């Protein structure tokens, strides 16, 4: 029998061993990464590894964008005052900045003030957070002022004890009953008398502005 030209008989088993080892490697790879495409197995080459999902690009600052800081409310000069309420609590008008405010200057013996008190007691709680109404009691004794507040159910409305007339002088109030209306920008838009109906309309308009 003639021998193959250029190759020895031992070369064939060696080639078979190499191919067998390559196929075993492909099968082992398939068990870890999934199935091997038939053409890859036939060609004796492993499939290319799957690409990793794209990583989101980092922001320019390297951190999540932060929410903008709240803009501080400017306190107008007209609200830069403080006092003590008839219940003994400290009152700071600067906390009302950024909202319309109604100051009500009244005296405990004033019949006109008494007629307005019912309206104030009715609407003040409703607009407490949008258009605060603050009473400024003067021209009387503290006991009479407290009785007035109790009689007309004004306990839910801040009432400043201004027996010394500090705020009355500051706002140049010379008679009662006077309403001083300050808009959200700190501008006095009304100073004078208002009956119950007119007061309600003014406050409702300010709340909706």
Quick count: other Cβ atoms within 10 Å of Cβ 154? 22
Q: Please tell me the predicted confidence (pLDDT) of residue 72.
A: 77
Secondary structure of residue 38 in the 3-state scheme: helix
pLDDT over 90 at 68, yes or no: no
Q: Are 101 and 134 in contact (CB under 8 A)?
A: yes
Examine the pLDDT at 200 and tell me if it is beyond 90: yes
Which of 46-60, 64-78, 152-166 shows the lowest per-residue confidence on average (mean pLDDT)? 46-60
- Whole-angstrom distance, CA of residue 156 vs CA of residue 99: 19
Q: For residue 209, is pLDDT > 80?
A: no
Alpha carbon distances (Å) from 81 to 17, 75, 92, 164: 99, 11, 7, 15
Q: Give the pLDDT mean for 8-19.
A: 44
Distance CA 5, CA 164 (A): 129
Name the CA dihedral angle for 119, 142, 170, 208, rounded to a multiple of 10 degrees: -20
Q: What is d(CA 100, CA 192) in angstroms, rounded to the nearest whole number?
A: 16
How far, CA to CA in Å, does 209 sit from each of 133, 136, 204, 205?
16, 25, 9, 6
- What are the two backbone dihedrals, phi and then psi, of residue 118, each rounded to the nearest 5 degrees? -65, -40
Task: Specify the DSSP class assigned to residue 26.
Answer: H
Which pLDDT band, with edges at 50, 70 and 90, does 5 fall under?
very low
First to last CA, the chain: 113
Q: Are 26 and 36 in contact (CB under 8 A)?
A: yes
pLDDT of residue 94: 97
Q: What is the mean pLDDT of residues 113-127?
A: 96
Mean predicted lDDT score pLDDT of the chain: 79
């Amino acid at each position: 029998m003639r021998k193959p030209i250029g190759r020895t008989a031992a070369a064939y088993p060696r080639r078979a061993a190499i191919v067998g080892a390559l196929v075993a490697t492909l099968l082992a790879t398939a068990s870890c990464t999934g199935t091997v495409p038939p053409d890859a197995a036939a060609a004796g080459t492993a499939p290319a590894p799957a690409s990793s999902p794209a990583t989101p690009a980092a922001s320019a600052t390297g951190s999540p964008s932060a929410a903008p800081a709240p803009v501080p409310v400017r306190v107008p000069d007209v609200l830069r005052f403080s006092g003590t309420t008839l219940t003994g609590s400290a009152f700071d008008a600067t906390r009302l900045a950024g909202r319309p405010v109604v100051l009500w200057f009244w005296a405990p013996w004033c019949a006109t003030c008494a007629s307005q008190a019912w309206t104030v007691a009715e609407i003040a709680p409703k607009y407490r957070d949008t258009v605060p109404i603050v009473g400024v009691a003067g021209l009387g004794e503290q006991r009479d002022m407290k009785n007035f507040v109790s009689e007309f159910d004004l306990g839910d409305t801040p009432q400043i004890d201004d027996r010394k007339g500090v705020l009355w002088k500051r706002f140049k109030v010379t008679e009662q009953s006077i309403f001083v209306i300050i808009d959200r920008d700190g501008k006095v838009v009304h100073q004078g008398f208002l009956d119950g109906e007119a007061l309600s309309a003014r406050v409702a308009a300010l709340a909706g502005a």
